[in-house]
Structure 1
Amino acid sequence: MTGKAAIDGLDRGVLLEALIALAEAAGDIVWRHFVEGATVTIKPDESPVTAADHAAEAAILAGLAEVAPHIPIVAEEEAAAGRVPDVDGAFFLVDPLDGTKEFIRRGNDFTVNIGLIEQGAPTMGVVYAPARNALYWGDATIGQAWRADRAPDAPRAAERRIAVRDPHTPPCAVASRSHADPATAAWLDAGGICDCVSVGSSLKFALVASGEADVYPRTGPTMEWDTAAGDALLRAAGGTTLDPDNRPFRYGKPGFRNTGFVAAGRYRPAPLRPFIRD
């Protein structure tokens, strides 16, 4: 089954609006846990998980099962529990709370992420940052992306189109607050990039997509649900995500694990491979 065939019968605009509504609802759940305080436990891989992660994911899974019951869903907490469907063609990647450590620290850089993969590429994505009142979405198949202000439990404000920008001189990079490393610093230095904005979660993709930064390098490993929604948003806004050898970044890899990547707008990055230790 091809990715295209897998969503036949679904209107793309209707599906995207459904994904936006699900991200908003999940963001409201996350926000209520943020305000009231969420129980934290430690998973077998020693990463934290909260009641907000579980509640938001359950809401997204239930909603996706209604709007697109024939499309498999790979979700972070389901995968952590060993429940991973076989994927062949289109599938959803869900991270109900990207930036859990930021959430626990009472920061504001956590997001809800829902992405659609078709034929190995992210084609549709929604990123919602409830603590920042920022909602982003896009469809790469039509090359359009949007942003709207949206406070938790409040109506969505007017949307506006977003797009990547022409590179600044020197280019501005965006990097993670919690995953800074010497390899990233070396890559930035080699490219003469001295302006760097630090932000957490999938907001790094959103900043490049909305023309607030030029490039986002990541030398360390991530999971596909961490990147799918933001990557789709970036591609919809005119950007691209490349693997360490500057080839198009693909999804549906073994274990849904990512190696390093570079996400960029119109900036043309050097390969990341020489800076990564396998």
Structure 2
Amino acid sequence: MLEILERSAIAAGRAIMNVYGAGPAVSYKADTSPVTDADHRAERIILADLASAFPDIPIIAEEAVAAGHVPDITGQSFFLVDPLDGTKEFVERNSHFTVNIGLIVAGTPVAGVVYAPALGVIYGASNGIARKATVEDDRLAGAWQPIGCRKCGDRPLALTSRWHNSAETLAYIAEHGITDHEAVGSSLKFCLLAEGYADLYPRFSRTMEWDTAAGDAILRAAGGETRTAGGMPLAYGKREQPDDSDFANPWFISRGKR
């Protein structure tokens, strides 16, 4: 499966970079978040690839959901797709944007890829193994290398959102005596935890499941975890939530090894 997800993510990344070079056409959704022609082109590629390779696995994709297309996932494994995570980074011509494809089984992210086309790096997870590779000319430039979380020391490094930081996040960092923190865009925060660059990612602002599933799968395979502010593992496939929309995440804290 991972090879198919990898090829699809790289193909979507190629389409994204074509738009990146030419300059994107930007519009805004009902929630005021930006969307570009790159989002739509990349999602069409991924949806076609997944439907062809895995016709029996439903797909929850960001732009399709925004258009009202939500397949039934009751009692099923399903994919979560964010074709361009970090659209604001993309529009601002920052390199921290990614293609995210994650597989959910029984509410848990178990496989996925995160591809950062402007950085030429791809992360993947399957069968409990997390790994990383470089990409050149739209293909892997070398072998996949296994990655793993580091054990948190006395001076942890926390990652925060570049565009969606919050007073609550900063308060959490201060309350836990964390003096070192870095702002990073998109799902790369999960991947940096997974490869042992940083230790903690507290997120006390809104995210959706397609934002987090692929990166969370990689982090968990690398030995880390993502838990809600109440201490429960972050679950996926959340529907009919009394206090939020379908597929919206609560606040959470991702971390490497304790």
Measure, in 1, the Cα distance between the counterparts of 2:109 and 2:217: 5
Match of 2:148 in 1: 163
Alignment partner of 1:262 is 2:253: yes
CA contact (8 A) 1:29 1:55 kept: yes
Measure, in 1, the Cα distance between the counterparts of 2:93 and 2:137: 16
2:112 corresponds to which of 115, 121, 125:
125
TM-score by length of 2: 0.95
Measure, in 2, the Cα distance between the counterparts of 1:128 and 1:107: 15
Superposed CA RMSD in Å reads: 1.0
SS of the residue 1:149 aligns to: strand
Measure, in 2, the Cα distance between the counterparts of 1:143 and 1:92: 17
Deviating beyond 6 angstroms after TM superposition, the runs of 4 or more aligned structure 1 residues are: none
Q: How does 1:171-186 map to 2 (within 5 A)?
A: 171-186=156-171
Match of 1:72 in 2: 58
CA contact (8 A) 2:110 2:128 kept: no
Q: 1:246: Cα distance to partner?
A: 0.9
CA contact (8 A) 2:133 2:140 kept: no
Alignment partner of 1:242 is 2:227: yes
TM-score by length of 1: 0.88
Measure, in 1, the Cα distance between the counterparts of 2:8 and 2:153: 35
SS of the residue 2:93 aligns to: coil
Q: How does 1:13-162 map to 2 (within 5 A)?
A: 15-88=1-74, 89-139=76-126, 142-162=127-147
CA contact (8 A) 2:200 2:253 kept: yes
Q: 1:156: Cα distance to partner?
A: 3.4
CA contact (8 A) 2:204 2:252 kept: yes
Q: 1:16: Cα distance to partner?
A: 1.3
Measure, in 2, the Cα distance between the counterparts of 1:256 and 1:79: 10
CA contact (8 A) 1:57 1:75 kept: yes
Q: 1:47: Cα distance to partner?
A: 1.2
CA contact (8 A) 1:242 1:249 kept: yes
Q: 1:154: Cα distance to partner?
A: 4.1
Amino acid of the structure 1 residue aligned with 2:214: A
Amino acid of the structure 1 residue aligned with 2:251: G
CA contact (8 A) 1:31 1:152 kept: no
Amino acid of the structure 1 residue aligned with 2:30: P
Which ranges in structure 2 are unaligned for 5 or more consecutive residues?
240-245
Measure, in 2, the Cα distance between the counterparts of 1:154 and 1:37: 24
Moved more, 175-184 or 110-119: 175-184
Match of 1:193 in 2: 178
Which ranges in structure 1 are unaligned for 5 or more consecutive residues?
1-14, 268-278
Measure, in 1, the Cα distance between the counterparts of 2:253 and 2:140: 34
Measure, in 2, the Cα distance between the counterparts of 1:23 and 1:164: 24
- Overall identity of the aligned pairs, in %: 51
Q: 1:157: Cα distance to partner?
A: 2.3
Measure, in 2, the Cα distance between the counterparts of 1:116 and 1:128: 15
Measure, in 2, the Cα distance between the counterparts of 1:189 and 1:173: 11
CA contact (8 A) 2:226 2:234 kept: yes
CA contact (8 A) 1:133 1:152 kept: no
